[in-house]
Structure 1
Amino acid sequence: MQRKLGDEMKKITGAVIFILVFSLSVAQSLVGTVSRVSDGDTLHLETPEGKYKVRFYGIDAPEISQDYGLESKVFVAERVLGERVKVDVVSTDRYGRKVGKIYYGYGYRNYLNRKVVEAGYAWWYRYYAREDRDLQEAEAHARKYKAGLWRSTDPVAPWEYRRSKKKGSQKGRAASLDRVVYVTKSGEKYHRAGCEYLKSVAGSYTIKEAEARGYTACRKL
């Protein structure tokens, strides 16, 4: 009796595990229509369940302001904008976007992530997809045949480009904090020299000093 009960429990446990695994696999696939393409590695998907912003798994396309950024966006849009696609979701990133593998065309046979890299309009994002041989081979092919961005003698990876832009903005902000501004005797704002609201000058400070004293920027600054 005890053995029979044990066998029944094993069957129930196995069935529960199957249901959980099956439910998880279903939950991680989205099928819908692409309503918008933001750039070469991000699109917007409309499904019966809702709207999603989808980041392509394992690739990083040039920013729109970079060389080949616009071409990358156009490459993706020409293939899937307004079309039905399937997204195998890998994860959700810190911005709430679904990160996934996008498939399009008849029977969803075309792997878009690979197509973009193979055409030279995105990099294989090694940091997040080190073991993805499809993307590794696609980049090797693009490099070999100098496709897309690989025609450039020294292409800049998007993550390096973003890092340099961030450093530049931080330096710019630090420099601006040393700019000299002026305050009035009774006002709560700081002003640039010659500001129409600066009727009289009661003191001058750097922006950093003025903000530390509780002053806020004039809207004309």
Structure 2
Amino acid sequence: MKQKNQRAIIHLLTARSWPARISAIVILSIAAVTWWHERAVSPGQLAKGSNIEGQVVAVADGDTITLLDANQQQYKLRLAYIDAPEKAMPFGQAAKTHLSDLVFKQNVSAKIDDVDRYGRGVARISKNQQDINLAQVNAGFAWHYTTYAKKAQPPAEFADYANAQHAAKSARLGLWQDRQAMPPWDWRKAKRSE
């Protein structure tokens, strides 16, 4: 391919006809796009819309995991459309433990919906066709993060998550045992202003 690109450059610079120049430009454009794509989505990097599979090798908190794929590449993933209590918050450790019980040392699939500013994949995690993100909400160990979910989450899925949160809250499961449970986004905001 490198030799073909070199010939295209020479042809572009020496061609006397416009069709020959255009042909050289097309070849160079294709090479540039291919090169850019290979650099942008190389192993170990995440891209919106990609799918990865592997074993969960770490659980950082109630909504963040590390996945190791078959090529031994690690990916830090944030569970999409939910927000679990921070570790220092009430129920933070319980949320982490519940997520660990669901996925630690288990094989999962991850659909990357976005890549956040920290380079983490924002992903929908499933294990044996079980929606792990939804499982955290069902058990009362995460909020449905509607601020982000209403922008990108499919409507039927949005309704499932909203219903799960309502049911967990009504049954006073997990963090909903605390009637004054503070959402993690408010807790983080309060910590930043201290």
Flag whether TM exceeds 0.5 (same fold).
yes
Correspondent of 1:89 among 93, 109, 112: 112
Residue number in structure 2 paired with 1:103: 126
Shift of 1:53: 0.2
1:167 aligns with 2:190: no
Q: Deviations over 1:48-100 (max 9, x none)?
A: 34210000000000000000000000000011101100001101111100011
Which residues of structure 1 form unaligned runs of 5+?
A: 1-24, 169-221
Residue identity in the other structure for 1:133: A
Report the TM-score when normalising by structure 1.
0.61
1:64 aligns with 2:84: no
Report the TM-score when normalising by structure 2.
0.70
Residue number in structure 2 paired with 1:148: 174
* Closer/same/farther in 2, CA of residues 161 and 48 from structure 1, 3 Å limit: same
Residue number in structure 2 paired with 1:113: 133
Correspondent of 1:132 among 153, 158, 183: 158
Count of residues in correspondence between the two structures = 141
Q: CA RMSD in A?
A: 1.7
- Which has the larger Rg? 1
Contact kept? 2:54, 2:107, Cα under 8 Å = yes
Q: Deviations over 1:155-182 (max 9, x none)?
A: 00000000000000xxxxxxxxxxxxxx
Residue identity in the other structure for 2:135: K
Shift of 1:27: 6.0
Overall identity of the aligned pairs, in %: 33
Which residues of structure 2 form unaligned runs of 5+?
A: 1-46, 151-156
Higher strand share: 1
Contact kept? 2:49, 2:114, Cα under 8 Å = no
1:54 aligns with 2:77: yes
Higher helix share: 2
Runs (4+) of structure 1 exceeding 6 A deviation are none
